[in-house]
Amino acid sequence: MKHLKLIAIVLSVVIAAVAVFAATQYIANNYLDKQDDHKAHAEVNCKQKGQTHYVVIENNAMVPKHTYANLCDTLKVTNKDDKVRRVAFGAHDHHQTYDGQEENTLAKDQVEEVVLNKAGTYMIHDHLDYRVQGDFTVKE
């Protein structure tokens, strides 16, 4: 009988540890700010624009999920879904300003354009549906 109690206690501890680990990973991936390195980078004044990168919101997803770019490139986000999207920078509920913009409402076929004027990696998401998210890296 004591043996069964010990097994039940050990099993309970293992299940609790797995649940805590899974919850921590979920929170880190969906809510915590992944943009530690952007704080050290100042905005630059882009006199000349570089390449244009396109992100499309379609079928409840951002495509591509990640964009690599250079300073002074442009990022254009287009909503192709039938529902209104509210595109925001930063983690969900912890919005940040990028290129003077924090959040922009996009109806179907509307486009948000930002000049990539700060190096680092930045999250972008639909504030109305936090599962619709992506990020972009701007290198110096």
At 88-130, the pLDDT tens digits run 998 877 888 888 888 899 999 999 999 999 999 999 999 999 8
Query: pLDDT at residue 33 above 50?
Result: no
pLDDT the model gives residue 25: 58
If you average pLDDT over residues 28-48, what whole number do you get?
60
Q: 140: pLDDT confidence band, cut at 50, 70 and 90?
A: confident
0.75 surpassed by pTM: no
Q: Which domains does the chain have, with CATH numbers?
A: 36-139 (2.60.40.420)
pLDDT the model gives residue 91: 83
**Mean pLDDT score across all residues of the chain:** 83
- Long-range contacts formed by 78-81: CB under 8 A, 24+ apart: 78/54, 78/106, 78/109, 78/110, 78/111, 79/106, 79/107, 79/108, 79/109, 79/110, 79/111, 80/56, 80/108, 80/109, 81/57, 81/108
**CA–CA separation, 86 vs 129, rounded Å?**
9
Sign for the CA dihedral angle at 111, 116, 117, 118 comes to positive
CB 131 within 8 A of CB 60: yes
